[in-house]
Amino acid sequence: MIPYHLPALLSESIAGLNLKPDGIYVDVTFGGGGHSRAILDHLTTGRLIAFDQDADAAANIINDERFTFLNQNFRYLKNNLRYIGISNIDGLIADLGVSFHQFDENERGFSFRSDAELDMRMNRQASVKASDILRTYDEEQLANVFFRYGELTSSRKLAGAIVKARTTKPVITTADMMSALEGLVPKRDENKFYARLFQALRIEVNHELEALKEMLTQALEILKAGGRIAVITYHSLEDRLVKNFIRTGNFEGESEKDFYGNVTAPFRAVNRKVIVPSEKEIEENSRARSARLRIAEKI
């Protein structure tokens, strides 16, 4: 049986949270529940609240009175916690990767390795699929998505090819898109190219960077002094936002100073250097290869 998800950097992220047995913690990306179960192992009278906007994750709910599952997008972190009577927390973990389950369920359309409709919705109740974006965005909008979220330098050519192809046949499936882009895909880096292209569409469909910014901003508000966050990212766009926010308290990375010229920051970085998986972990879980962990403590 294929696991729902193997959590990346599990021991490192759990250790980084510096868990207190009676603390209140939040796992904003529940998925298969790997990180959540590890947190519960360290709690006695504490409490764990888990978020996941993908309804499929509910199949992994943990039967434990200390555990609460919320089928919600983590961008609504603060309001959902307030609704269940929580205003402050001791720590938060976020694993921003797509789960094995989402990649391996062909009909979800997250993987370029299978031919399926280009869906890519984390929340299947959302109205816009990746195929809708390819159908309705104009050439400039598509180019912006490919360049901004996939960092593809050939974004304008790719957008032009999609727009041209859809005049004769809708671009709905993986095969449709590959056919439309034939001749524009670098043969030596084909997998890397499609990974970036799918990343760009997935980020646009799920508004991932906006949601990440909102979650981090709210996490800072509700985190107790001395509380910690542990965030695992999988590409440079996410990692840059997390790094800047930890270092400066904003997403542009611009340091703010007090009246005396001292740099003010809301966090202390626990790991000065980003934590990456060991060779052993990569051997056991190749999908962890791009994982990057940053841990910070609120001052």
Q: Calculate mean pLDDT across residues 115-141.
A: 97
246 & 267 share domain:
yes
Block residue for tokens 């998925």: 31
Does a structural domain hold residue 243?
A: yes
82 & 219 share domain:
yes
8 A C-beta contact, residue 54 and residue 45? no
89 & 214 share domain:
yes
* Nearest residue to 171 (alpha-carbon basis) of 106, 118, 112: 118
Q: Which helix (H) or strand (E) holds 47?
A: strand 47-51
Q: Give 3's pLDDT tier (boundaries 50, 70, 90).
A: low
119 & 180 share domain:
yes
Question: How distant, in Å, are the alpha carbons of 245, 250, 261, 264, 269 from that of 257?
Answer: 15, 13, 5, 5, 18
Q: Which helix (H) or strand (E) holds 263?
A: strand 263-264
Does a structural domain hold residue 3?
A: no
Does a structural domain hold residue 94?
A: yes
Q: How far apart are CA 271 and CA 275, in angstroms?
A: 7
Domain extent for 215: 10-100+208-298
Domain-terminating residue out of 165, 187, 206: 206
Domain-terminating residue out of 187, 206, 225: 206
Does a structural domain hold residue 5?
A: no
55 & 123 share domain:
no
8 A C-beta contact, residue 88 and residue 24? yes
Tokens of 133: 């974006």
Residue 2, pLDDT > 60, answer: no
The enclosing domain of 158 has a CATH number of 1.10.150.170
249 & 188 share domain:
no
Query: Per-residue pLDDT tens for 68-118?
Result: 999 999 999 999 999 999 999 999 999 999 887 787 788 899 999 889 999
84 & 150 share domain:
no
Residue 1, pLDDT > 50, answer: no
Domain-terminating residue out of 206, 237, 259: 206
